[in-house]
Structure 1
């Protein structure tokens, strides 16, 4: 994955395409999903003036870039586009219709008419919504600076612009030769929500507004990575303030800081703060509530790791492995106590009514979580594998869905002053579906993901006997002759299982298509959740807070597995 600060030069069009898709998949997955919706079922072959090639296709709601190996021809694309840098730049000039952007010997497009138009809509949508992101501007600027010849030298910023002299006879080329790009600049303290998009739909390098020939309904966008980083950092500061520096430090308070210091993605704080902003609240008003959620979360993790006999959490040994079960249990209890303190601390900033509503939401969230944990532990204790996916959906929603997705949104809205149960309930179904999809993906990553990215020991869920969608599907589809062996492995305690036992179950899952089934199921649930998001949350006007919520909803659909 290429970061915008990566010194590796972007010298080919194919490399630029790959880097752009990578950036958008991480930072603005809603944009990727919208473009993928236009191109679904189409394989697009792209050729650039430098000889590089790429194949762009859609997998679920993700854009996938493939590079044909040297001497190896890729499968025939449905649409082919070959263009040089002049056409590459004009692709982002939305003030002209497609026919007006073509230059002689510059752009060649082949394919069925409807599919060509679908591709053009996808790229126009990307231009409308992605070109304002600071990270995308920096990425394309680095490409321009790595290969300045096709673009002309950078204009002297101190020199006043003069009238452009027509030298080529082509208006588009004259524009390129005499351009004066206004590059994105940062500065100042980052905002918790907002400030990641320079402007609304625009040309990529000159900052002028655009009037596209084909128009997508206007929505706000946001840089998800930048927003999550800001919310995670601010919430971390607030959490640290709630952990006292007093005795017993070594046996309690220092231990409380260990799991929060192993920072995760920052999903819950971002949802909380963004939901507050979406309803017109000040993002800062949701920080203490976000800190409370993270303290609850880390307390739950300490206890979960003990119950599951987990050995690693976020890439490091679990608390009970390093410090013993007794100290770990007490530390988890202490984190939950601090979370209550963090909720109550809102009295002096949000007042009594909103704080009471926060307490109500927190109690409901904790009740759902312990009920879900009881369901899963009960299945393991009783050696039961549910027959249907719906049982998993219920358990997952209770155990992790409420405190990971639904409650953060509701709590953020309460911080903004929303206490109407019907309005708060508009988050429930959309984020229930998104939460289930997210958990299924986490379960898949434990089986096939990279340990350094997932943060737990590989195949840990199989060693712990977790009842995942893949395991349920396996037991539903495997032959009766296979069942006794699988049951015998599952019924052993964690300490009696070896890595090869987990690998045996994984091999059976692969044979029966259980992992592919789970991938498709997660994609379907995520799509349903996004549909409900747009329907149920239409009451929220388009703003930067809602833009962040939308990006998180789409993050599930574009997550690489």
Structure 2
């Protein structure tokens, strides 16, 4: 994450209060931003703003807002998924309980809007509202599949979900905000490649969750399986699984996380890892990434600062085609 974003987060979020309870809230709000992370979305926004000649102050505040969005969404997401870890440390609700973590996420949400207002960019509040709507829709689909024990799903179902849940806030909206910060109307051609690249990124993240031992991955390995996540990998594996494997899988996934049998889950994970499903998912991600990069290149070639545009394409290539 860039220094100018970190500085704005530190300046915006309060740190001290005479009541210890409120000071704990402030520490909790600062926790996820302080854990670092790559700052992919803010970097994309700042690169895009430079490519289109936006003033640095306005774009830095928008980048700060999108990082605060990421933080409060992750706090809530970890609770909804019953996750154990975030960026190599216990999830916030594991440290402080669900109620306090929800409240800290809500407080960060409010500070996100404050950062948006600091930017003073016309149309930015509406863009953030649109981003929240799409992300919430995708998250709801994902959670509803788990809640309703739904496994009769197709790859198209998965891709529609991740385009909503991940594609908008990871790629589409940062690039649209970059153009808005430069006083331009967002190019509608950004949406299709942005959604393809966002889906490719999510598939790669799903792969890392299964095979990233020793690679500095910030979440628990196999956590998606324990949480019953519907991923492209698992959906493909189910198509070729034996009746016994499928029965064991569906029986285990019907249980809450705390009741799952670790040995059964380990056996299922081994089967998935050696079934070809991971390689299939990586091929799909590669094809989506190439299509997205080709289309995005056509849009960015009109940017007034070509060197920055090339940096964006390089960042997107690294993001969407990273080795697992």
TM range (shorter): over 0.9
Cα distance, 1:452 vs structure 2 = 5.9
Paired position in structure 2 for 1:449: 212
Q: Which has the higher helix share?
A: 2
TM-score between both structures, scaled by the size of structure 1: 0.55
Q: Is 1:259 aligned to residue 32 of structure 2? A: yes
Q: What secondary structure sits across from 1:454 in the alignment?
A: coil
Larger RCO (CA within 8 A; separation ≥ 6): 2
Paired position in structure 2 for 1:236: 6
**Residue correspondences, number:** 321
CA distance in structure 1 between the partners assigned to 2:194 and 2:68 by the alignment: 21
CA deviations 1:192-243 (Å, max 9, x no partner) are xxxxxxxxxxxxxxxxxxxxxxxxxxxxxxxxxxxxxxx5222111111110
The alignment's C-alpha RMSD in Å is 1.6
CA deviations 1:509-544 (Å, max 9, x no partner) are 134311111111111111111111122333224523
Larger radius of gyration: 1
Paired position in structure 2 for 1:342: 115
Cα distance, 1:246 vs structure 2 = 4.0
CA distance in structure 2 between the partners assigned to 1:284 and 1:548 by the alignment: 20
Q: Is 1:409 aligned to residue 182 of structure 2? A: no
Paired position in structure 2 for 1:273: 46
Alignment counterpart, residue 15 of structure 2, candidates 226, 234, 245: 245
Structure 2 counterparts to residues 74-473 of structure 1, below 5 A: 232-247=2-17, 248-347=21-120, 354-355=121-122, 357-419=123-185, 421=186, 423=187, 425-450=188-213, 453-473=216-236
Runs of 4+ in 1 over 3 A off after TM superposition: none
In the alignment, structure 1 segments of 5+ residues that lack a partner are 1-230, 348-353
CA distance in structure 1 between the partners assigned to 2:200 and 2:152 by the alignment: 18
CA deviations 1:263-321 (Å, max 9, x no partner) are 11111111111111111213333000110111111000000001111111000011010
CA distance in structure 2 between the partners assigned to 1:337 and 1:384 by the alignment: 34
* Stretch of structure 1 that moved more, 316-325 or 238-247: 238-247
CA contact (8 A) 2:197 2:320 kept: no
- When residues 306 and 452 of structure 1 are mapped into structure 2, their CA distance, relative to the original with a 3 A threshold, is farther
Paired position in structure 1 for 2:242: 479
CA distance in structure 2 between the partners assigned to 1:260 and 1:366 by the alignment: 19
Cα distance, 1:426 vs structure 2 = 2.1
CA contact (8 A) 1:474 1:509 kept: yes
Structure 2 counterparts to residues 492-507 of structure 1, below 5 A: 492-507=255-270
Q: What secondary structure sits across from 1:257 in the alignment?
A: helix
CA deviations 1:328-359 (Å, max 9, x no partner) are 00000001110011111123xxxxxx33x100
CA distance in structure 1 between the partners assigned to 2:132 and 2:55 by the alignment: 26
Q: Which has the higher strand share?
A: 1
Q: What secondary structure sits across from 1:345 in the alignment?
A: helix
Structure 2 counterparts to residues 522-533 of structure 1, below 5 A: 522-533=285-296
